[in-house]
A and B are shown apart, each in its own frame.
Chain A
Amino acid sequence: MFRLEVRTSTPTWFNLALPLLAIAATLVLCSGLIALAGAGILESYGVMFTASLGDSYAITETLVRAAPMIFTGLAVAVAFRAKFWNIGAEGQLLAGAVASCFVGAIPMPGALAMLLMAIAGAAAGAAVALAPATLRVKFKVDDVVSSLLLNSVIYYALMALIEGPWKDSFSGYPISPPIEDSANFPVLIEGTRLHLGVIVALIAAPLIWFLIARTTLGFRIRVTGENPEAARYGGIHVERVLLSTALLSGALAGLAGVGEVGGVHFQVMSDISPGYGYSGIVVAMLARLNPLGVVPAAIFLAAVMTGAEAMSRATGVPAFLSDVIQGTALLAMLVALLFTAYRIRRVGVAT
């Protein structure tokens, strides 16, 4: 007989083992689709790997794609730590993109423009995230549903802008006017797209880790998430912590939008985010809500996305495999997390 037993603590090697287990399970499960498409499994994964991490140019491309997911992953990780269920990183990213594009289009010295773009984008994202948090604190409105629905509101607001007052009168396409050239984030390695925002994302992760693990606010966030009753009893103003968490989380998601405007697209269009906000949930879960884990998790997803396109060209397997991998990885990770809550024990029955 086997039974599930509640675990009280988990060994630290779980933090690495569980995501790897989930990713391995995902790749095995998705290999069925590659076989269905009539391509070689190892060959396809091989192309995927080489095209995303095989040489230095590929690595820079993967990092460029990872940057927004590092930010949204951090945004979700921070929020989920406090059990503020922010499903709205997608909308917060879009708000950040719009705000930074507004600022970036104003002529001013480049460095100042970039700084103000970041501030405006973070503020816009934070403002959007504050809404579901306020509704939860003041009116006990479910934050899952309200933050999710806000994504659609922000998306339509963005569409109204780029199809209305912002519409590029020159081309007639629904895209915003570009930001000033001087506001384009500098490229760090000649001949690649590796921009300043990528480095900022890579630095943000350890900073957020420090904030969560070593500061008073981080402590409050963790306690509020783990045991709000105890937090309240210990004199922590839980509502205030939730609002602060929302501001921080929204600002991080907003920065994802800033990077895409300043470093990649230089303007806003309807498909500026291919779901990076939702991917942030996958990233955060794979990272077990640890900000340091967000970086490799985001790089993994980015590598899958970059690699899938090359795989599609080489083997004919549709590039949408990367979307399936993303969904499967999230579900596999959730199942893997069961091992942290329970352990399987043999009990009773003598053999």
Chain B
Amino acid sequence: MSVVLEQIFQVGFLAAIIRIATPLAFATLGEMFSERAGVLNLGIEGIMLLCAMTGFTATSLSGSLWLGVLVAVLTGMLMGALHALFTVMLGLSQHVCGIGVTLFSSGLAYFLYRLIFGQQSVPPAIKGFQTLPIPVLSDIPVLGPAVFNQFALVYMAIVAIPLAAFVLYRTPWGLSVRMVGENPRAADSAGVSVIATRFQAVILGGALMGLAGAFLSMAQFNAFTFGVVSGRGWVAIALVVFGRWDPWRSAGAALLFAFVDALQLRMQASGLGHIPYEAFLMLPFIFTIVAMAVMSRNAVAPSALLKPFRREER
């Protein structure tokens, strides 16, 4: 046990947690915005994959990392708009559409990747993001090198969390999002356009999912593989529930998951313990399912989640 504790407080371990948490934080915040507006986006798994692919491809062809990030974000917004078109505009069932969007985007990602890069024995790689130490702050012992000697995208995620909370709780638009997610009819009476607000929230969510995808293929792995997302989108769905649809709690949940995941990787690498690593990977899902059962007494999910809004129907 002491060996485990020793590992935990190593700089490398803390840095690993932050890196694992970053794409999850982006994805979780993205899904949270969408769900707070009343739209479950099960397309997240496929959207992240497609964004990882388009971002990687743009960087690979142009040599510019930030152009890749921009392309990934635009891809995410486009897929968010597609999901919103089906679920918000046409009022189709959100879960089935979400599965459709995931199947469509992951299929498209595989297809386009194979078309552009062909079948290669070694997947092409890019020179991904390099760590960017922040002066002064990175000199703080332990915390400095772990948190302030990271990729630029990590800092963006750290800023995104309070920013998301501010937007959701302190701006008129955030209020509109919460209103259309809780009581769309009241929001409509108050002059808030339910359709437009939901569209915006789902598209913003898509942009954040794009950042998550970009981080995976351009900072973490520096390549696109078919397993680059491997269930992280589903993890984000779980983390939103676990974080009770709140930016701070959701980000905290992402950090907690990253801690467990990093621990699992360490134990695997050091050959410690006889617990199969899959047991750790299962944990967030089991925790979330249990948490949903426990939380169900006090309804915390947005009331209008999964419910399409049509003005003329009562």
Contact = CB atoms under 8 A, between A and B. Distances in A.
B42 interface: yes
Interface in B158-188: none
B132 interface: no
Most chain B CB inside 10 Å of its own CB: which residue of A152, A153, A321, A326: A152
B216 interface: no
Contact of B234 (A135, A148, A324): A148
Interface in A150-209: 150-153, 155-157, 159-160, 163-164
B100 A331 contact: yes
Nearest to A151: B234
A112 interface: no
Nearest to B237: A145
B231 interface: yes
A226 interface: no
B278 A160 contact: yes
B237 A148 contact: yes
A278 to B, nearest CB: 6
Given A135-B293, A152-B285, A160-B278, A318 B111 contact: yes
B140 interface: no
Nearest to A143: B95
A151 to B, nearest CB: 8
Interface residues of B, number: 44
Given A153-B285, A334-B86, A334-B100, A327 B93 contact: no
Interface residues of A, number: 49
A142 B301 contact: yes
B278 A327 contact: no
B292 A326 contact: no
Given A135-B289, A152-B282, A335 B90 contact: yes
A281 interface: yes
Nearest to A152: B285
Nearest to A141: B292
A259 B149 CA distance: 52
B97 interface: yes
Interface stretch (B1-9, B70-78, B101-109, B246-254): B101-109
Contacts of A294: none
Nearest to A321: B111
Contact of B114 (A87, A157, A318, A328): A318
Given A139-B293, A159-B278, A320-B111, A153 B286 contact: yes
Nearest to A155: B231
A338 interface: yes
B292 A135 contact: yes
Contact of A285 (B86, B96, B106): B96
B311 to A, nearest CB: 12
A160 B268 CA distance: 13
A141 B111 contact: no
A281 B96 contact: yes
A24 to B, nearest CB: 17
Contact of A156 (B42, B282, B293): B282
A106 interface: no
B234 A331 contact: no
B125 to A, nearest CB: 20
B107 A323 contact: yes
Interface in B104-121: 104-108, 110-111, 114-115
A345 to B, nearest CB: 14
B99 interface: yes
Given A141-B292, A157-B278, A331 B111 contact: no
Nearest to B310: A4
A285 B293 CA distance: 29
B97 A331 contact: yes
Interface string B251-283: 000000000000000000000000010110110
Interface in A318-347: 318, 320-328, 330-331, 334-335, 337-338
A152 B105 CA distance: 20
B57 interface: no
17 contacts: A36-B115, A140-B296, A142-B301, A144-B42, A145-B40, A152-B231, A152-B234, A155-B231, A156-B281, A278-B99, A322-B107, A326-B107, A327-B103, A327-B105, A327-B108, A331-B101, A334-B96
Given A141-B293, A149-B285, 4 more contacts: A318-B114, A320-B111, A327-B100, A334-B86
The 5 residue pairs across chains A and B that have the minimum distance between CB atoms: A327-B104, A323-B107, A327-B103, A320-B110, A324-B107
